[in-house]
Amino acid sequence: SPWKPILLLLSPAFSTSCARCAKDRRRREKRAISERQLTRYFVDQRKVRVVGGQGGGGGHSFYSEPRKVFGGPDGGNGGDGGHVIFKVDQQMKSLSSVFPFYQGFHGERGGSKNCYGANGAHVYVKVPLGTLVKEDGKVVADLTQHGEEYIAAYGGAGGKGNRFFLSNENRAPTLFTPGEPGQERVLHLELKTTAHAGLVGFPNAGKSSLLRAISRAKPAVAAYPFTTLNPHVGIVHYQDYEQVAVADIPGLIRGAHQNRGLGTAFLRHIERCRFLLYVVDLSVPQPWTQLQDLKYELEAYEQGLSERPGVVIGNKLDLAQSRINLPLLRERVAERVIALSALTGDNLEELLLHLKELYDTYVKTEQSQGQNPIK
């Protein structure tokens, strides 16, 4: 065929059907971010000023055409202003993308021929799961479900056109009203990490190493205190397709409830956890004092927080001093003690089985009370 050379020249240089000729469309792996760099992106508090859109003014006109000079008033109503709405998005991880000011779109003015003005569009602000909305120190919204919405500022109502004021007593009204201004509020947003279990312990107790061992989360691990500056959440997968979320809370110290160390900035993240995993360093002298101090700090921050279901995890079992302190810890502690090594992976199975038992108990308790457990 005389067209065959031309078709060969016009054919593309690659094929989408041949595996060897197709382009490499594999997604590139995300660049690893250090804990110091991650601090810039993780924000768990934000002050936001929200203003609803202003309503459009009412129209003022009279219908007129040839041979119908006195057609009557035909000014339409103005459109309503748009709202500012907080919407929960489970893909969001912090409040870093929330701006300090939002305003809804204004409504349009009413036109002639009884045409109503268009309503202003709503402004949606994406917030992560576990966002708490406060106004003047009082909680006004607790957003814990994906897709949940909260109207932060209502838009103003549109004005009335002169057609609205037509009556038998006033056949040619000239009165029309302007649009109302939108609602204005100053709100404080707080993020509380939503997880089933929370790893609580002093700095360098091995919480981050333990989370890396039982999940795919990769918090920073180093041999100095306060390595973890942001809470990390890892997902533990089981064979029955259940998933348990475990949060690595930054290390607490004595006096944390008085804003010492990292202070109360991360104590709020423990409030969302349904059960607690106390991580104790077995290699230090008298490790049971760590557990007493941790419970005291939790109870001083919020009454009843230390009484939640939990288990004591004795970490760093691979060290010689830890094997000496383990029987002493079990004698002085009433709770169950699970001894393991996050570094070598010894006895992680016992922790995973007990974690599943705590999760099943939580689900049964929520269902017996007629509530939906968080999954």
Q: What is the pLDDT of residues 188-197, one digit of tens each?
A: 998 877 778 8
Neighbours of 321 (CB within 10 A): 13
Helices (H), the chain: 4-10, 35-41, 207-214, 288-301, 320-332, 348-368
User: Domains in the chain, ordered, with CATH?
Assistant: 42-192 (2.70.210.12), 197-368 (3.40.50.300)
The CA distances from residue 31 to 6, 90, 111, 232, in Å, are: 45, 21, 54, 17
Say how far apart CA 275 and CA 324 lie, in whole Å: 28
Tens-digit pLDDT profile for residues 277-332: 888 888 888 888 888 888 888 888 888 888 888 889 888 888 888 888 888 888 88
Q: Are 207 and 279 in contact (CB under 8 A)?
A: yes
Nearest to 119 by CA among 147, 155, 95: 155
pLDDT digits (tens, 9 = 90+) for 292-303: 888 888 888 888
The token pair at 247 is: 């949060």
- Residue that is written with structure tokens 């490790």 in the block: 287
pLDDT band at 261 (very low <50, low <70, confident <90, very high): very low
Distance CA 315, CA 354 (A): 16
Mean pLDDT of 153-167: 90
How would you list the strands of the sheet with 84-88, edge to edge?
A: 123-127, 84-88, 149-153
Residue 98 has pLDDT above 70, yes or no: yes
CA dist., res. 69 & res. 63, Å (int): 8
Rounded average pLDDT over 347-361: 89
Helices H, strands E: what count in the chain? 6, 14
Give the whole-angstrom CA distance, residue 287 versus residue 331.
12
Q: Which two tokens stand for residue 307?
A: 């009484």
Place of tokens 């041949």: 18
Quick one: what percent of the chain has pLDDT higher than 90? 19
Query: At 336, is the secondary structure helix, strand, or coil?
Result: coil
CA separation for the pair 310, 276 (Å, rounded): 5
Per-residue pLDDT averaged across 177-185, rounded? 92
* Token pair listed for 128: 């992560």
Residue 314 CA to residue 319 CA, distance in Å, equals 12
Burial 171-180 (b: 16+ CB within 10 A, else e): eebeebbbbb
Task: Show Cβ contacts of residue 164 under 8 Å, excluding neighbours closer than 6 positions.
Answer: 58, 77, 176
Strand, helix or coil for residue 151? strand
Backbone angles phi, psi at 232, to 5 degrees: -115, 145
Cα 370 from Cα 80, distance rounded (Å): 40
The pair of three-digit structure tokens given for residue 216, joined into one six-digit string: 């795919």
d(CA 270, CA 193): 8
Residue 298 belongs to what H/E stretch?
helix 288-301
Arithmetic mean of pLDDT, 150-165: 92
pLDDT-based confidence at 14, cuts 50/70/90?
very low
Provide the b/e sequence for 91-112 (b: ≥16 CB within 10 Å): ebbbbeebeeebbbbbbbbbbb
Answer whether residue 141 shows pLDDT above 70: yes
Q: Is the four-CA dihedral 194, 196, 202, 206 of positive or negative sign? A: negative
Rounded Cα distance between 86 and 186, Å, is 14
